[in-house]
Amino acid sequence: SETYAELKTDSELSLARLNEDLQYFCFIKIPENGINSYVDINKRIISLFRLLSDEDALKIIFHL
């Protein structure tokens, strides 16, 4: 069974999950220029996700 809650307003976002296997609560105040302004996507982040999407690279990382 899953217990999940989400609350959205124009200026806040709240998420919660109370399952036994994964419990979390998150509260975010949304900036005037949107929630995406929290994330500055640059070339290093893109490279990191490209690496993490490579199955062989993940096998090497887990082996270490």
Question: Which tens digit of pLDDT belongs to each residue from 5-32?
Answer: 999 998 999 999 998 888 999 998 988 8
Range of the domain at 14: 4-31+39-63
Q: Write the CA distances from 52 to 1, 11, 38, 42, 61, integer angstroms.
A: 30, 32, 21, 16, 9
- Residue 58 has a pLDDT of 82
Percent with pLDDT over 90 in the chain? 28
Q: Please state, rounded to an integer, the average pLDDT across all residues of the chain.
A: 86
How many domains is the chain built from?
Answer: 1
For 1, residues 6+ apart whose C-beta sits below 8 A from its C-beta are 19
Band of residue 61 on the pLDDT scale cut at 50, 70, 90: confident
What is the rounded distance in angstroms from the CA atom of residue 57 to the CA atom of residue 52?
A: 7
